[in-house]
Amino acid sequence: MGANQSEKLSNASFAATRTERISEYKSRRQPFDYERVASTSVDDFKAQGWEFDKALKTGIRLRRPKSSVEMLENRFWSVLYLLGFEQLNVGHDFVVPIDADGERISKKISVLGIDEDTIVVAECQTTESLRRKSAFSLVADLDVHKRAIANTLRKFLGDSNRKIIWCVVTSQIRWSEGDLTKAKEKQVHILREQELRYFQEIAKTLGRAAKHQFVAEFLSGQKIPALANRHVSASRFKLGGRTAFAFTIPAKELLRRAFVNHRDLRDPSGAPSYQRLIDSKRIKAIAAFLSKGGYFANSIIVSFHTSVRFDQGSRDDESDVRFGKLYLPESYKTCWVIDGQHRLYGASLMEEGIDPIIPVVAFEKLPATEEAILFTTINKEQKQVQPRLLDELDGELKWDSDDPEESARGIAARSLDQLRHEIAGPFEDRFAPPGVPATKNQVLTLPQIKLALLKSGLLGRRSSRDGSYLPGALSGGTKKSTLENTSQFLSAYFTAVRAANVSRWEAGPQQLLCYNPAIQAHLRLCGEVVRHLSQHSELDPHESDPEVLVERIVGFCKSLFDFISSSTDEAFKDRFYVPFGSGGPARYFYRAAELVAQANPDFDPDGLKEFLAGTNKDTREECNRMVSWITDEVHGFVVRRLRDEHGDDFFNLAVRNKEIKKKAYEKSLDDPGGAKPLETYLDLIELKKIVETAENWSLFKDALSFSLPDQPKGLAKYLKWLEDFNEVRKIWAHPYGRSYSEDDVALLEFIESELRKRLA
């Protein structure tokens, strides 16, 4: 709605129906705007920042990245959508007509969400790169127009009882403590990147069941008029030395007061956070169970964080139990759920008009530490959780560890868990959840990506000199700042990877860009590039913001990003395809590093030269030929000499080592093709042991005893070449993830040359 239409707020300005909300949400989730144009118009659009996306039957589809502030607005708008706000603004030019200093003006609002109890008014601002910038002018402007905006909205809605939450949402802006304090005084809530990610998590994980959790963050302690003087019949008693109440209540009524301190959702004010990960499928299953007439036979455990009124009606002297009316808290965030969150959230998902009754045991003002202890006591007998879930819980289990390596594990797990819920982020819904079947888009596994992040050194590493733990490029002064750095860095870097070729990223494993080996390889590459830039430029990663680091890395790796963007599917697969297995990430990394090194000759991460030497097709084929020839020639020569010396019974006469005989016999029994002569099953090291025995040495010393170029003189036997050759032979026998180094090539050439002279 433009300024010339601002005299009256219109229903047309809102997505008020389910269809309208879904349509707007789908549009806002896209990181690009798309435009279908005729081929003749492409150049004109490219001059305006549009780029080629795909060819259509009737033209060309172009795309253009949405602006950073538009993306920020979309992220917060999507949070409100997922939480179930029923009226949301349409588009990015939404204005509210207000009276300001006696003049009728149009006040632009970034995001507006309305539900039955609450109105959310948000202004959004971002910058292209992280920097210290005062955004308090947004707070001041919003504060000045609060009353006028509220009057317009309440008049439009015909309701003066809704609570209004005033927000300023920012990204890439560092707030000073002074500005945060002043904003709090003006009752304007600041949502920075870390707070926004938190709310994205609860919205994505719990949906509309989390709306009251969201509202409680901003209206904590404020009274809910609709819940005033609400009471239930209850009993009061002592439990574990603490005052407790037992009663029943409609689930949705409890939820409006409730708050769950999720350890995976990182409540900014909650400590300690003890609740386990939410299983959205379990919540839906509970709702389905209730819809079929099911009910809860066991109580939800809660703790009132305020004193409650209890009017006693009667008393049982023998058990010291009182009966009467319990007046429930009438404020947000006053009833903390200790156990039973899935039941409560599941019940809240019931359709309109259905509100299951749930049994509750409530403690009065139970300390937070005792809440955590009680939760642990209740759940300690639960069945053992999956190892992968425990691995994902590192974000909580290791968070408070004093060991820097364990702490890094916690930060890595927590950061990746945040990014899986980042709306429109590169990893949104990309990680396979533990314990439930993955969708076709959930192609990443958190444990593997977490391990790669730790190995990259970005979060720190052990010193090879004294064993001390050295900070990484993303290490901050506190665990919280390190977490923020890590989340911002990963989001920014992999957003750049995705933007280089969106269709390839969205295709997942089929196009080799968004799957475990690729993500692991990119993390390793980031660590290597940061180390290189630190050594060869003035870059100090500890003094650089995460986005600055990403800009430097992406710029340094331009040749790689260009290849991702412009290469054909065939060329991309030819470079990056790796067979399934643990060696995939390393091979992928070296292939990517090779592209970077082509444009930056001084970039030389450990192992790259050796890998390139080994992956040269002609070199590999020649090395394989030499290994095969040496193996066959040595084996055949030893067997012929022994047979010539001892006759057909040479195996029993010349092989004195019982263990060697036993192994050969066992191998013959397991041979699916039928048993062959026992000498067939001797390996190189066993042949070496046979050759160097006193009784056999004279047969072989002239042909097989020769020193390596760097071997000291004066030894009685020179058979170390056999040991070294056996190590190289493993590359030929088990090629996946292995390659021949320059030293390997030189060794094979030397051995072949010697044997050809000696065995001729």
Please name which of 398, 411, 552 lies closest in space to residue 485, comparing C-alpha atoms. Answer: 411
Please name which of 165, 152, 61 lies closest in space to residue 113, comparing C-alpha atoms. Answer: 165
- Among positive and negative, which fits the CA dihedral 104, 106, 111, 112? positive
Over residues 377-407, the pLDDT tens digits come to 665 544 444 444 445 444 445 556 678 888 8
Q: Is the pLDDT of residue 1 over 50?
A: no
What is the separation, in whole angstroms, between the first and last Cα of the chain?
92
pLDDT at residue 581 in the model: 44
Bridge partners of 165, per DSSP, are 120
| Alpha carbon distance 277, 413 (integer Å) | 13
Placement of tokens 């090395």 in the chain: 623
Please name which of 256, 331, 243, 347 lies closest in space to residue 295, comparing C-alpha atoms. Answer: 347
668 confidence band (pLDDT: 50, 70, 90): confident
Q: Is the pLDDT of residue 86 over 90?
A: yes
The third-level CATH classification (topology) of the domain covering 3-31+66-191 is Trna Endonuclease; Chain: A, domain 1 (3.40.1350)
Burial 80-95 (b: 16+ CB within 10 A, else e): bbbbbbbbbbbebebb
Q: Is 246 exposed, middle or buried (0-12, 13-18, 19+ CB in 10 A)?
A: middle
Q: Which of 638-647, 674-683, 704-713 has the highest mean pLDDT?
A: 638-647
pLDDT at residue 556 in the model: 96
Give the number of other Cβ atoms within 10 Å of residue 676's Cβ: 11
| 560-to-427, 576, 589 alpha-carbon distances in Å | 20, 12, 11
In a 3-state reduction of DSSP, which class is residue 715? coil
Residue of 759 and 368 predicted with greater confidence: 759
pLDDT at residue 540 in the model: 81
Over residues 203-234, the pLDDT tens digits come to 887 788 778 888 888 888 788 777 788 999 99
Under a CB-based contact definition with an 8 Å cutoff, are residues 98 and 112 in contact?
Answer: no
Please name which of 702, 502, 594 lies closest in space to residue 51, comparing C-alpha atoms. Answer: 502
Which three-class secondary structure string do you get for 279-306?
A: CHHHHHHHHHHHHCCCCCCCCEEEEECC
Identity at 207, one-letter amino acid code: G
pLDDT at residue 279 in the model: 66
Under a CB-based contact definition with an 8 Å cutoff, are residues 72 and 126 in contact?
Answer: yes
Bridge partners of 122, per DSSP, are 111, 167
pLDDT at residue 436 in the model: 52
Please name which of 398, 502, 400, 404 lies closest in space to residue 31, comparing C-alpha atoms. Answer: 502
| 437-to-386, 421, 443 alpha-carbon distances in Å | 14, 18, 11
Give the number of other Cβ atoms within 10 Å of residue 466's Cβ: 7
Placement of tokens 């290189």 in the chain: 532
| 104-to-12, 92, 615, 735, 749 alpha-carbon distances in Å | 20, 21, 72, 76, 88
Residue of 375 and 70 predicted with greater confidence: 70
pLDDT at residue 385 in the model: 42
In a 3-state reduction of DSSP, which class is residue 504? helix
Up-side HSE of residue 362: CA atoms within 13 Å toward CB?
A: 31
| Alpha carbon distance 240, 338 (integer Å) | 15
pLDDT at residue 4 in the model: 39
| Alpha carbon distance 382, 280 (integer Å) | 19
- Parallel/antiparallel/unpaired status of strands 357-364 and 300-304: parallel
For the chain, which residues make up each domain, given as ranges?
3-31+66-191, 219-382, 389-606, 617-758
| Alpha carbon distance 42, 45 (integer Å) | 5
Placement of tokens 């994980």 in the chain: 205
SS percent in the chain: helix, strand, coil, step 5: 50, 20, 30
Task: For residue 716, give the DSSP letter.
Answer: S
Which three-class secondary structure string do you get for 414-429?
A: HHHHHHCCCCCCCCCC
Under a CB-based contact definition with an 8 Å cutoff, are residues 312 and 323 in contact?
Answer: yes
pLDDT at residue 368 in the model: 66
Over residues 507-561, the pLDDT tens digits come to 888 889 999 999 999 999 999 999 999 988 877 877 778 888 999 999 999 999 9
Q: What is the mean pLDDT of residues 645-659?
A: 91
583 confidence band (pLDDT: 50, 70, 90): low
Q: What is the mean pLDDT of residues 175-191?
A: 89
Please name which of 695, 685, 708 lies closest in space to residue 631, comparing C-alpha atoms. Answer: 685
Interior CA angle at 662 toward 659 and 664, to 5°? 110
Bridge partners of 237, per DSSP, are 244
For the ranges 267-271, 446-450, 667-671, the lowest mean pLDDT is seen at 267-271
Using only C-alpha atoms, what is the Rg of the chain? 34
Interior CA angle at 338 toward 334 and 339, to 5°? 135
Asked, as a colleague might, if the bond just before 272 is cis with ω within 30 of 0, I would say yes
For the ranges 162-166, 200-204, 304-308, 727-731, the lowest mean pLDDT is seen at 200-204
- Parallel/antiparallel/unpaired status of strands 335-339 and 242-250: unpaired
Residue of 734 and 454 predicted with greater confidence: 454
Identity at 514, one-letter amino acid code: C
Placement of tokens 């009438």 in the chain: 330
For 32, phi then psi, to 5°, come to -125, 155
pLDDT at residue 366 in the model: 81
Q: What is the mean pLDDT of residues 310-331?
A: 91
For 435, phi then psi, to 5°, come to 90, -10
